[in-house]
A = this chain, B = another copy of it.
């Protein structure tokens, strides 16, 4: 089992998917022990560190990577299994950002009102008790919320010769901001360029569905993934598999198009996997799916379509890649103890 440990220096961070040279070349099946900086590039550390003051665009939402995965070619699928995602500091931060978020006018949902106040919230992170603590800024209230670490940004180089900001979710993955991207899950991404050029970042200690104010409980993360290549199988939009569910993630505006993409992909996927006629798959998904919103704040909005595997007549997604990678993950974790 190849294991690569990699922690980027400040000047090794990437800010786009595409347009960046790989930091390492790895073989399929490699375990990557990675460190990711938080979305604020580590610059929001006190409640006085307002984003508009400490962040210089476009240097926000840094990525660790990209990694060139050997043998990955356009038309293949990259599988990324999340072995573990653990906060690397005992605090995390969130913030309002002027003209960003779902409950405000923005630069594109443009308006003439004054922006909302810019406030920073700092959270205590307890990795033993598995909680984060919200502290209200304008009253004395405190609430403990479950720690539920995830990565907001996971992707490969995009198609069409493009380079996209790390803030953007689209068919290449990117800043989807779905809480489903947690340890134990395998993410499948269509390969657009040789080597796939996988990168990730934007760790969240937890996030509500929609990331309403635009910012989650942002944290640096120690994250281990196993990357693999599934040859000659294409994946049009990001897909996830957990032990219990199949999921598709659509990203677009308006939000109904994100929903349509995710549903269309799930219907098509299970139709092919299970040998169902498209209209039968459409009917089954209609009655059986869950549709958690991921983000309604990024340049594209993201919705997940999700179905329990037990509701499918039969299933062998990506020839059992999730089960295989899970086994590798167990082997790696056993060996590490």
Contacts and interface: CB of A to CB of B under 8 A. Distances in A.
Contacts of A58: 159-161
A225 interface: no
A303 B275 CA distance: 32
A19 B161 contact: yes
A317 interface: no
23 contacts: A19-B19, A94-B286, A96-B282, A96-B283, A102-B259, A103-B264, A105-B113, A107-B261, A110-B261, A111-B264, A116-B279, A136-B284, A136-B313, A145-B288, A162-B164, A207-B287, A209-B289, A212-B263, A212-B282, A212-B286, A217-B287, A253-B257, A256-B296
A116 B283 CA distance: 13
Number of copies: 4
Contact of A160 (B57, B161, B291): B57
Contacts of A207: 286-287
A16, A215, A283, A296 — most chain B CB neighbours (10 Å): A283
A53 interface: no
A303 to B, nearest CB: 7
A128 interface: no
B108 A104 contact: no
A30 B145 CA distance: 39
A103 B260 contact: yes
Given A104-B105, A105-B113, A143-B284, A291 B289 contact: no
A102 B283 CA distance: 12
A285 interface: yes
A213 B136 CA distance: 36
Contact of A264 (B110, B121, B278): B110
Contacts of A328: none
Nearest to A208: B289
A217 B285 CA distance: 12
A311 interface: yes
A60 to B, nearest CB: 9
A256 B259 contact: no
A312 B142 CA distance: 9
